[in-house]
Structure 1
Amino acid sequence: MKKSRKFYTAALLSSVTAVAVGVTGVSAAQSFSDVSESHIHSESIELLTKAGIIKGFRDGTFKPDASVTRGQAAKMIVGVLGLDTKDVTNPNFADIKPSNQYYNAIAILENLGFVKAFEDNTFRPSAPITHAEAAAIFTTIGELTTDEALALVTGSGIEFNPTKNTTRAELASILALILLAGEEEEVEGYELSILHVNDTHGRVETFPQLITAVKEQKAEKPDALLLHAGDAFSGTLYFNEFLGQADVQFLNAMEFDAMTLGNHEFDLGGSAEGHKALVDFIKAAKFPILTSNVNFSGDAKFTGLFTDLISSEPENGKIYSGMVKEINGEKVGIFGLTTEETKDISFVGSVKFENYIEEAKKAVAAFEGMGVNKIIALTHLGYDDNSKVDNDLLLAKNVPGIDIIVGAHSHTQLDEPIVVDKNTVGEAKDATIIVQANEYGKYLGTLDVTFDEQGAAIEYGGELLKIADYVADETATAMLKPYKEKVDSISKIEIGVTLKEDLVSPRATEAQPNATSVRNSETALGNIITDGMLAKAQNFTKKTVVMALQNGGGIREAIPAGKVTVGQVITVLPYGNTLALMDVTGAELKAAMEVSVKNAPAENGGFLHVSGAKVVYDSSKESGKRLVSLQYLDKATGKYVDVKDGETYTVATNAFTAKGGDGFSMFAKAYEEGRVTDLGLSDWENFRDQLKSLTEIKTTTEGRITDAAVK
């Protein structure tokens, strides 16, 4: 098991705080010239040495009776807790720079809230640490009471004196107890393994490699759960042609244990056949579908498929609130949740959505009533998505009893599991571990969790396995062949549009670095794309959407004159982006335009093409002060009016830009504050629909974006 962090509860630590001296089981061999076998803390020092946590000084000494510095203590604590210090955010200490030898250790402890700054915002890495300060740190790390922390210190053979400096040997003994506590629980706990994917969105071509990855993991962990967190529908020609039937054949072949429904599973609800494709998908599934906050009783197509009960014997091809599965003699509860945003961003018809917090609490209570204390929420809410509606972080904080959240919807790449161990008011709670595996079948997520006897997660490890690194399974490749042949033929199908001239996507060259480019200038192609985004957004919301934005870096190819094919449309926008709505202030929009034109006339992938707006900037001015004016088309008057700093506007863009891609930090802030809604509409399909709607396709620009410096 790959360990990212261990959990040390009060009960666990107190169970080994008898006396450290003589209980480590490690021979007190003399690793250091100044630590004799008779030294009271020699066994603890030797234990940490053999564990690779301490190395001593270059002269072969350990200096056991010298005061330990705060920097040295940070490094030793991080070593014992097994914390990963590779990806840390900068610590908020005025005196800790990257050049400091303890930088990473101090940073991770600060990131986790284990250490805090002094009043002058310093950490003081060279200062000694007193007995009282050491006890305070371990109070935070182990979520201990003051008395329990004191027991840990005194149980290490230390005569507690709050003002006395802690010696290097004394800290070694405290840490030896913690190391022993972690090792003891690792042996006795119940281990559960999970494999997971999410937001595969019709990427059937990735499944032969995904199957190989699943087989390899199952060979090592045959009892691992295999879970899909929703959004198998929409986004590719595979879905357009086979309506989920290609996907479900591969999911069956992989032997998934369960799947929840994402918002895109309801995309066809507005068609003449309603949710027939979803019903057919569910009936074909050789695994149960779980969602506890969706009520299907109003749609006759789901009659006989849906029950709001939790089952210990769930049938394949049926929908349940949750299920209980026995794994290695222990019962594990799994329930599903689907974002309430679905009713606003898809075609739900008569299907109803209920509050996710209330339904989650009901599910947890039902499991606990059945004697199940290991509970997984399989969710399609989004990791940090719209906080005004729902997300996994809020679920973890609001609903006690959930041990693991396997998530989706926000397409978040959580390279390592995230732990939520505090509730909404900052009080300590049992850990909830959150995972999510990005999108499009790019990764297979792995998670290993150890539970104590009470069902609390006390140890975990997890990572994302890159599917591109795996060889395609031969049987699955053969299964893919007829689907692929059909899709390849469809990509050559003409969409019913003929171009009289090329729709160019110009780029600068080494010889002409400031030439007209899709990344520094308005283009006809960018105009058509954004016009399609604006039109589609206005049809999908009651809000007034004033403009649409498309980053130039996302426009990848031109379309030559002649009959346009589906494949050509996809090559223009190949990333599978979705359409999102943002509520942003005029000041934020203006700041975004400064980012857009910051490099002009040099290229910038974040250069924004616009619809419904006019932008004037001056490239002769310094970056950040280039915007001359920003206006939007007021439909009531038919005239362009100035964007005002204090006003809030609804703007359409792609999900990449809405989340802050290309350096749009103001949009990232809006996303974090729940001011972004992903409509889930495929960008290339929006572009195709816009091309088909035009009676005349202009290949010239319209003066939407103007550089005042160019005369």
Structure 2
Amino acid sequence: MTNKSYRKLLATATTTTLVASAFAPVVSADAKEFTDVPDRYTDAVNFLVSKGAKGLTESQFGTEKFIKRVDAAILLANVLDLDTANAPESGFTDVPKRAEGAVNALKAANITNGKTATSFGSESNITRGELALWIQRGYGLVGTAELSFTDVKETYEPAVKMLVANNITKGVSQTQFGIEHPAKRGDYATFLHKATQAKELQEEAFNLSIMHTNDTHGHIEDIAKRATAIEKIRAKKPDSLLLDAGDVFSGTLYFNEFLGQADLKFMNYLEYDAMTFGNHEFDLGASENGHKALADFVKGAEFPFVSANVDFSKDDLFTGLQHSEISKEATDGQIYNGIVKEIDGEKVGIFGLTTEETPDISSTGNVEFSSYIEKATETVQAFKDQGINKIIALTHIGYDDSLEFDNDLELAKQVEGIDVIVGGHTHSTLEEPTVNEDGDEPTIIVQTGEYGKALGTLDVIFDEGGVVTNYGGKLISVADQEADAEVLEMLKPYSDQVDAIKDQSIEVKAVSSLDGARENVRTKETNLGNLITDGMLAKAKTINPDTVVALTNGGGIRESIDEGDITMGEILTVMPFGNSLGIMNLTGKEIKEALEHSVSQAPNANGAFLQMSGLKFTYDSSKPAGERVISAEVNNGTDYATLDEDASYFVATNTFTAKGGDGYDMFKKAYDEGRVSEPGYVDYEMFTEYLQTLETVDPAVEDRIVDINE
């Protein structure tokens, strides 16, 4: 397409164009000549009559009358053709005999749970908000829209967005949906009629369903619950794709012990369709065996890999594994620029990209990385040359990462023809998909967050030209699922081995106790805080030698370490969150603002209180918050020099804090402006490695943080 002739994806509450009302009236031979049905309701009422609806009298349909929940249940069950005869008993005690089958069927289909465990609320009038939820659950329509309504609470928001996107309703006014308004019989007829039309349109179009994960980082402790979430989706949508956007490697003892093979066992079992490489897949490149673990991972995969901008040709471990082509018959355990999947008779192209920053933040060895924009443009054109116009980019470049390197938002903006971007790298939790409409066609962007906490789901509807006309997506909480018993049994040998490792010494002894007590790390300098940040700074310097300061929030240090042998279990207790390393480019002024925020609640305990390395400062807790810092000095390599508010400094921290966690807005500003690099090394791994380099573990409190009021 050469112009914006496509229909806009993001509808408003007053203007929607996604679903056309091009259906002929559905007229039943039994339709009554009701005298209270104006023209705007005629087709909808005739439709309901064809489904068994009756008027209030021979001449009155009751268009302007409110409809009770019990009558609404009967009509919806009829329209949806639910099995009202065989549904299990609902347990509601207030449902009249004539409606028992309908209510039983609605509950069995998870369309409604009633008002309470025993009350359906049969005689209550159904509200427009309740009706929206019923239609969302009953019809399974795809769609989302921008809303101008001010009365739509979070509970109802996805359902109302779906109704608006599919032109089922425009609300009672431009600013009010009428969530609490009782629904009229005429409105109900219109809702069901238009929802049925929208369903028929969507069933005629090509529907693509995608499940996706990213940045799992060896977290397979909840893999049995992830399996359940996947099984539920496949039960409803068996043709769903299952994709992973990289960084399966590094981050837990599962990876340290099994080097990706434990993760691979479950990915094969769950039948992933494709994966791209994350930067952490290359972490072992500088080890004695180089990328052998990654090569073994690829060879053992029962799915193909997609990677358009990574060249493995100079690493002999990957000889015969990579193919610079678009494959229509991809072989498991092989790497392609892109692959083609046929779904319901339609061809879908999938290609992969990995961040160009990888050589700077991982150990890539002889593996080379090229321009993501250039390779994406070439690959999209290759798909189009084969007549493929439904294209997915499976990326590990970051949702909104620094433009110095690459990110998904810029990819969508610059490369025309990508319909969906399934992303990773920035651990961005996109509760709803993002839509980019800068080009001739829209691009949908999704990402799940991190560590397998959520399974991403996305449904996309395409027109005949391969243009996305509607979509809907959400994240499914893995923790909320029941564990699959078979997968849990498969996990046990791995988890038993990991549990045993937690009790093992890291072969390092602490000369004295390392203070991580909550009341201390959140109020003052401690020897453990010094030790952790010293390790962070040492690691950050191997990536960016100009890094001079390391900071970590006291709230991220959860326990002390006793004198004597240090175990992996103790380290994981100290830092259980698996936070990753980030390197910020800050001004001295921003560092001072951060120090003010750190001590703003002193002497009261505060999780935002910073432990630090390469920096020392004094403050006065008796002064007003924001005016407490007296002096600050930065280690210049040989000595400490006064912090220059006009100068720039590279500062290491964890990505939780770098993204504004614990109220560090000045860090968030730097992150949003692309002044944060995310090499991604996990905190407990960095700390363990650092401890193992020390001859003696006996850190002291060194007056890095001094409150003169004490």
TM range (shorter): 0.7 to 0.9
1:586 aligns with 2:588: yes
Cα separation, 2, equivalents of 1:381 and 1:102 = 35
Partner residue, 1:433:
444
Partner residue, 1:499:
510
1:256 aligns with 2:272: yes
Partner residue, 2:661:
661
1:266 aligns with 2:282: yes
1:526 aligns with 2:529: yes
Question: Which residue of 456, 460, 463 maps to 1:449?
Answer: 460
Cα separation, 2, equivalents of 1:89 and 1:522 = 48
Which stretches of structure 1, 4 residues or longer, exceed 4 Å deviation after superposition?
A: 5-9, 12-18, 22-31, 39-50, 55-58, 87-91, 100-105, 125-129, 174-184
Q: How far does the alpha carbon of each residue in 1:161-191 deviate from its partner, in whole angstroms, 9 at most, with x for none? A: xxxxxxxxxx99x999998985563242111
Matches within 5 A, 1:170-189: 185-189=201-205
AA of the residue aligned to 1:312: K
AA of the residue aligned to 2:284: L
- CA offset at residue 687 of structure 1? 1.3
Partner residue, 1:708:
708
Cα separation, 2, equivalents of 1:482 and 1:453 = 49
Q: How far does the alpha carbon of each residue in 1:311-347 deviate from its partner, in whole angstroms, 9 at most, with x for none? A: 0011111110110011111111111111111111001
AA of the residue aligned to 1:420: N
Question: Which residue of 601, 607, 610 maps to 1:608?
Answer: 610
Cα separation, 2, equivalents of 1:397 and 1:647 = 33
1:238 aligns with 2:254: yes
Contact 2:18-2:469 within 8 A present in 1 as well: no
Question: Which residue of 535, 540, 544 maps to 1:541?
Answer: 544
TM-score, normalised via structure 1 length: 0.77
Partner SS state of residue 268, structure 1: helix
- Shift of the 178–569 alpha-carbon distance from structure 1 to 2, 3 Å rule, reads same
Cα separation, 2, equivalents of 1:614 and 1:503 = 20
Partner residue, 2:670:
670
Cα separation, 2, equivalents of 1:14 and 1:475 = 43
Cα separation, 2, equivalents of 1:702 and 1:497 = 22
Q: How far does the alpha carbon of each residue in 1:348-394 deviate from its partner, in whole angstroms, 9 at most, with x for none? A: 11111111111111111111111111111111111111222111111
AA of the residue aligned to 1:199: D
Q: How far does the alpha carbon of each residue in 1:636-683 deviate from its partner, in whole angstroms, 9 at most, with x for none? A: x52332232x22111000111111111111111111111111111111
Moved more, 205-214 or 282-291: 205-214
Question: Which residue of 314, 317, 338 maps to 1:298?
Answer: 314
AA of the residue aligned to 1:233: F
Cα separation, 2, equivalents of 1:468 and 1:605 = 25
- Shift of the 648–88 alpha-carbon distance from structure 1 to 2, 3 Å rule, reads farther
Partner SS state of residue 692, structure 2: helix
Partner residue, 1:317:
333
AA of the residue aligned to 1:535: A
AA of the residue aligned to 1:674: G
> Over aligned residues, Cα RMSD in angstroms?
4.3
AA of the residue aligned to 1:592: A
Cα separation, 1, equivalents of 2:147 and 2:466 = 35
Contact 1:186-1:459 within 8 A present in 2 as well: no
Contact 2:18-2:470 within 8 A present in 1 as well: no
Contact 1:7-1:458 within 8 A present in 2 as well: no
Cα separation, 1, equivalents of 2:400 and 2:44 = 43
Partner SS state of residue 513, structure 2: coil
Cα separation, 2, equivalents of 1:454 and 1:185 = 15
Contact 2:242-2:272 within 8 A present in 1 as well: yes
- CA offset at residue 222 of structure 1? 1.5
AA of the residue aligned to 1:325: K
% identical aligned pairs: 48
Moved more, 211-220 or 288-297: 211-220
Moved more, 495-504 or 387-396: 495-504
Partner SS state of residue 546, structure 1: strand
- Shift of the 527–183 alpha-carbon distance from structure 1 to 2, 3 Å rule, reads same
Cα separation, 2, equivalents of 1:697 and 1:197 = 39
Partner residue, 1:382:
398
Q: How far does the alpha carbon of each residue in 1:263-312 deviate from its partner, in whole angstroms, 9 at most, with x for none? A: 00000001121111100110011110111010111112111001111100
Cα separation, 1, equivalents of 2:257 and 2:320 = 27
- CA offset at residue 693 of structure 1? 2.7
- Shift of the 88–332 alpha-carbon distance from structure 1 to 2, 3 Å rule, reads closer
Count of residue correspondences: 610
- CA offset at residue 217 of structure 1? 2.0
Contact 2:391-2:417 within 8 A present in 1 as well: yes
AA of the residue aligned to 2:538: A
Q: How far does the alpha carbon of each residue in 1:411-449 deviate from its partner, in whole angstroms, 9 at most, with x for none? A: 1111222221224xxxxx322111111111111111111
- Shift of the 7–204 alpha-carbon distance from structure 1 to 2, 3 Å rule, reads same
Cα separation, 1, equivalents of 2:402 and 2:504 = 38
TM-score, normalised via structure 2 length: 0.77
- CA offset at residue 474 of structure 1? 2.6
Cα separation, 1, equivalents of 2:33 and 2:558 = 65
Q: Which runs of 5 or more structure 2 residues have no equivalent in the other structure?
A: 1-7, 50-62, 67-128, 165-170, 176-186
Contact 1:6-1:182 within 8 A present in 2 as well: no
Cα separation, 1, equivalents of 2:330 and 2:247 = 21
Question: Which residue of 629, 633, 636 maps to 1:634?
Answer: 636
- CA offset at residue 89 of structure 1? 12
